[in-house]
Structure 1
Amino acid sequence: MPDTLHGRKILLGVSGSIAAYKSALVVRLLVKAGAEVRVILTPAAAAFVTPLTLATLSKNPVLQGFLKDAQAGEWHNHVELGLWADALVVAPASANTLAHLAGGFCDTLLDAVYLSARCPVFVAPAMDLDMYQHPATQGNLRRLREYGVTVWESPAGELASGLNGPGRMLEPEAIIAELGKELRIKN
C-alpha cells in the first residue's frame, strides 16, 4: 500500500458504468492506505452501486447532487470540494463523463468539482470496446491529456458485453499503485 496516500484527501468520482461496482474496492483500498475519501456519485452511477455501500466504506456521506437539502437551501460547495482535495480520481470514467469533462459541461456535481479542482486529476476509463475506440471518445481522452489530466490506459480483456479488447477499468489495486506513484512524483 503506497504510504504517499496516508493523510491525503481524495475525491473519488464514480460515473455510470458497470465497472462502478469496483469503486467500492477503490474506496476500501484508499481508506486502508490512510487516505480521507469523499465520493461523488453521478446520477447514472447510482444505478450500479449504492450510496450506502460507498458511504459505509468511506466513512463519509456520498455526494450525489448540488443540493444537500433543497428545503433548507443547503448545497454541496463544488469550489470548496475542489480546493479540499489533494487528488480527484474518476473511476470509472464513462464515455459520457469523459465527454462532459473534456467539453466543460457542468450539469452534475462531479462536472462542477472537476472544473473547480486545483489538484491533480486522474481518470480511469470504463466502457464497451466500440465506445472506447470511437473517435469522439479518443478525442476526448486526447483533450483531457492536453488539459493536464492523467488518463490511465484501459487494459484489454473481457468486457461485460462479451467482447474482448480495451475498455475495462484499471483494476482497483493498480489504481491505488498508480495514484501513489503519481502523487509522489507531483509533490
Structure 2
Amino acid sequence: MSASNQQATSNNQQLNSRRILLGVSGSIAAYKAAPLVRLLVQAGAEVQVILTEAAAAFVTPLTLGTLSKKPVLTGFLRDAASGQWHNHVELGLWADAYVIAPASANTLGQLAQGLCPNLLSAVYLSARCPVFLAPAMDLDMYAHPAVQQNIQRLRSFGNYVFDSPAGELASGLNGPGRMLEPEQIVAELVQFFNVK
C-alpha cells in the first residue's frame, strides 16, 4: 500500500459530519481539487465546492460535483430569471472549515485586501469558521514581496496558510510554489479537528 493510500485509509471517517467548503481558484493546481474532494468525502466530510470562473478552465464543475455529490457553485446567481442567488452569508455560517485550494496569487491578494469580485471571496469575508489556504503559483510569484506580504497579512487575520512545498513547477522551474498535496491537506484538517 502506498504512503498516500495509507494516509487516506488512516483519515477514513475522521472528518465525519464536518461541513467543508472548498474554494478552488484559477491555478494549474486546480486539477488537484478532484482528488482533494474525493479524500474529504472518504474521510466522512460533507463537501460544498465553490469554483471561480478562472478555475473552471482547469477543472470542470461536472467532475467536482460528481465527486462531492453536490452541485458546484460558480457564481452569485443560481437562476438569473427568478433572481435566486447563492447566499454567501449562509454558506459562511454553514461551514465548519473553509479550505481554499489552490489559492492563486490573485486570490490571496483579493482576500488580503478584502475585495470580493466573486462568490469564493465573498464567502471568505462572511465565513465564521476557520479558513485554510493552500497557495499555488510559480516560484517567482510565490517569492514576490507582495505575495509574501499578502500571506503574512492573511495569517495575521487568523487564517491558516500552508507553507508551499518545493518541487517541480508547471513552468519547469524547481522551488516553492506547489500546492500542498491533497493527502496532506486532509491530514492537516483531521489534526486540527482532533486537537480542537
| Counterpart pick for 1:151 among 142, 161, 180 | 161
Distance in 2 of aligned mates of 1:3 and 1:47: 31
Shift of residue 182 of structure 1?
A: 1.5
Runs of at least 4 residues of structure 1 off by over 4 A? none
Q: Which residue of 1 aligns with 2:7?
A: none
Residue equivalent to 2:144: 134
Deviations 1:99-137 (A, max 9, x none): 011000011001110000000000000000000000000
Q: 1:160 aligns with which of 170, 173, 183?
A: 170
Task: Name the SS for the 2:49 alignment partner.
Answer: strand
Give, as a single letter, the amino acid of the residue that structure 1 aligns with 2:164: S
Partners of 2:149 and 2:114 in 1: CA distance: 14
Normalising by structure 2, report the TM-score.
0.93
1:175-186 maps to which residues of 2 (within 5 A)? 175-185=185-195
Q: Which residue matches 2:57?
A: 47
Q: 1:14 aligns with which of 24, 45, 48?
A: 24
CA distance in 2: counterparts of 1:3 and 1:34, whole angstroms: 4
- Secondary structure of the residue that 1:7 maps to in structure 2? coil
Of 73-82 and 2-11, more deviation after overlay is shown by 2-11
- Which residue identity is paired with 1:130? D
| Equivalent position of 1:116 in the other structure | 126
Aligned residue type for 1:105 = L
Q: Which TM-score applies when normalising by structure 1?
A: 0.98
Q: CA deviation at 1:26?
A: 0.3
Deviation at 1:3, TM superposition (A): 4.3
- In structure 1, what is the equivalent of residue 181 of structure 2? 171
- In the other structure, the counterpart of 2:84 is 74
Q: Deviations over 1:155-175 (max 9, x none)?
A: 000000000000000001001
SS of residue paired to 2:163:
coil
1:33 matched residue in structure 2 = 43
Report what 1:104 is aligned to: 114
For residues 183 and 96 of structure 1, the distance between their equivalents in structure 2, rounded to whole angstroms, comes to 29
In 1, the alpha carbon distance for the partners of 2:107 and 2:87 equals 20
Query: How many equivalent residue pairs?
Result: 186
Question: Does the aligned pair in 2 maintain the 1:12–1:89 contact within 8 Å?
Answer: yes
Counterpart AA for 2:125: L
Question: Which residues of structure 1 form unaligned runs of 5+?
Answer: none
Q: Which runs of 5+ in 2 are unaligned?
A: 1-10
Percent of residue pairs identical: 73
Q: Distance in 2 between matches of 1:184 and 1:66?
A: 33
Distance 1:2 1:178, change over 3 A: farther
SS in 1 for 2:72: coil
Indicate which of 71, 84, 102 corresponds to 2:94.
Answer: 84
